[in-house]
Amino acid sequence: MSWKSGKVTLDDGTVYPAEFLLNENGQVYNMKVYKDEDTVEEIDAQNFSNKLGKDEKDVYPYTYELDE
C-alpha cells in the first residue's frame, strides 16, 4: 500500500488537502485530512466529523481526487 496526496471534497462542498492510503486495487484504505495545519485522521465517522467541526451528514459521502 502507498500514500498518495490529493484533496477530499465533503458532502457539504468543503475541500481539504489530504493523503490517501491506497490498497493494491486502488481503493482507499485510510486517509489523513489536513485542517489548519493539523492532521485529522479518519478513524470513526462521528469522531472524524467532530474534529472537523461538522455534522456527519455534512461530511459523508465524500469524494476525493489524487494529485498527479
pLDDT at 1: 72
Domain that residue 24 falls in: 2-66
For residues 62 and 8, the answer to whether their CB atoms sit within 8 Å is: yes
The better pLDDT of the pair 5, 62 is held by 5
The domain tally of the chain equals 1
Q: What are residue 63's DSSP bridge partners? A: 9
Q: Looking at residue 17, what is its pLDDT?
A: 94
Name the residue with higher pLDDT: 58 or 23: 58
Task: Tell me the pLDDT band of 43, cut-offs 50, 70 and 90.
Answer: low
Residue 45 is which amino acid? A
Q: SS3 of 32, please?
A: strand
Q: Which amino acid would we find at residue 24?
A: E
Average pLDDT score over residue span 23-32: 82
Distance CA 24, CA 16 (A): 24
Q: Would you say 5 and 68 are in contact if contact means Cβ atoms under 8 Å apart?
A: no
